Structure 1
Amino acid sequence: MSDAVNSSTSNLIKLENGVGRIVADDWTWVRINKATEEVKKQAGKVVLFKLTGDATASADEIAATDIPAQGRVLLPLTVWLARKDELSARVAANEIGVWVETHELVEDLVASLPDINVLPLIAVHVERFADGRIYSAGALLRTRFGYRNELRALGDVLRDQLFFFKRTGFDAFLIRADRSAEDAIASLKDFSEPYQGAVDDKRPLWRRHARSVTA
């Protein structure tokens, strides 16, 4: 059994020429129904917590995941890795995207394809925002692996994170359902001049602005 959810069109933000717009979402986000979740205490709070190497889903859960027969679908990494051979025609038709959890390795996704850019959409999902692994995943996909298509942040995506998602290569953000996408767009202008170079602009501040030299 799986949970296929059409993401709210009102909460998806995409960047176009650096400007955020709320747009309709034509992707169906497929998630695996899992019987149990590991719950641990971290920093005094109860959070969902996983380490790299933990199994994301069982083989039975992966096999039981229902992949919609039509339209553009965003699949969990585990489902993609186990069932990619049956999806080759839909990959060629630009109907398949893949999302990864922050505890999963983006290298596993890259290794599964001759060219990572055959996927029109890759997303990174954070269950509860507690560290910066989603930023690292985005930066790796853009810089080390040369991914050029839509890179989307999913899950616990909040207003104050968007500026930093943009800096690390994300160009689409599905804002958490209980928050306002309109308010979140404004956060992209929270800082006018970042000092460091990053994925969105590799030049540090001193290279972006010429200094006048006085005698």
Structure 2
Amino acid sequence: MSQLIQLSANGQASIVADEWTRVVPPAPAEESVRKQAGKVVLFKLTGEPTFTPEQIANTQIPASGKILVPLTVWQARKAELESRLAAGELGIVLATHETAEALQAEFADLNSLPIIAIFVERFADGRIFTLGAWLRTRFGYKNELRAIGDVLRDQLFFHKRAGFNSFLIRADRSAEDALASLNDFSQPYQGGVADVPVWRRVNRA
């Protein structure tokens, strides 16, 4: 069964079939243990390389169909992928340690991308929420914005408020349960991408 939850134009959520194939580079030959302040780092830091040149070169890209490719794969193999973009068959996966500015540098109009997916390797901070909100507000992105990777039930309501309109639930979790979580709260207090803080919604006149 599909693990993809998608919001319709009127905000209704449902579990739908996934039309997009995510392209994942092969695992590195060896991966060193990274530490910060003496502790093992289990997620990538901003500015850290996403994939090695060998991984990018060895990435297998399907010859047809809709594909989601990592930003670094697009950057290195743009010539062979431009026709897929023109056909509306290419979307970009942006990791949480990558920046919206790096994505914009590759696409003068971000809305030429039918979908942008933000990948959480391991949830440890709020970078996915920042990226989602910035893509919607600062960069004017209007198409499908998808959360993928370590996406959990308790986060969906807040992903939605940060501008995401589709969510690929982790394979070991229930998509039906995650779908219900979008109704966990009836009236958020803080402002979000599509609304204002509750105190600004009250007529005090």
Gaps of 5+ in 2: none
Gaps of 5+ in 1: 1-8
What is the aligned counterpart of 2:135 among 138, 141, 149? 141
Q: CA deviation at 1:38?
A: 4.7
Q: Which protein has the bigger strand share?
A: 1
What is the aligned counterpart of 2:63 among 62, 69, 74? 69
Partner of 1:11: 3
1:122 aligns with 2:116: yes
What is the aligned counterpart of 1:198 among 188, 192, 197? 192
1:34 aligns with 2:27: yes
- Structure-2 separation of matches of 1:136 and 1:41: 24
Q: Do the aligned partners of 2:26 and 2:58 also contact (CA within 8 Å) in 1?
A: no
User: Which residues of 2 match residues 57-206 of structure 1 at below 5 A?
Assistant: 57-201=51-195, 203-206=196-199
Q: Which amino acid is the alignment partner of residue 119 of structure 1?
A: L
SS in 1 for 2:102: helix
TM-score by length of 2: 0.92
Partner of 1:24: 17
Q: CA deviation at 1:37?
A: 3.8
- Structure-1 separation of matches of 2:36 and 2:151: 20
Give the aligned CA root-mean-square deviation in angstroms. Answer: 2.0
Bigger mean CA deviation after superposition, 86-95 or 154-163: 86-95
Q: CA deviation at 1:206?
A: 2.7
Equivalences, count = 203
SS in 1 for 2:24: strand
Q: Do the aligned partners of 1:30 and 1:75 also contact (CA within 8 Å) in 2?
A: yes
Give the % identical residues. Answer: 64
Partner of 1:4: none
TM-score by length of 1: 0.88
Q: Do the aligned partners of 2:146 and 2:168 also contact (CA within 8 Å) in 1?
A: yes
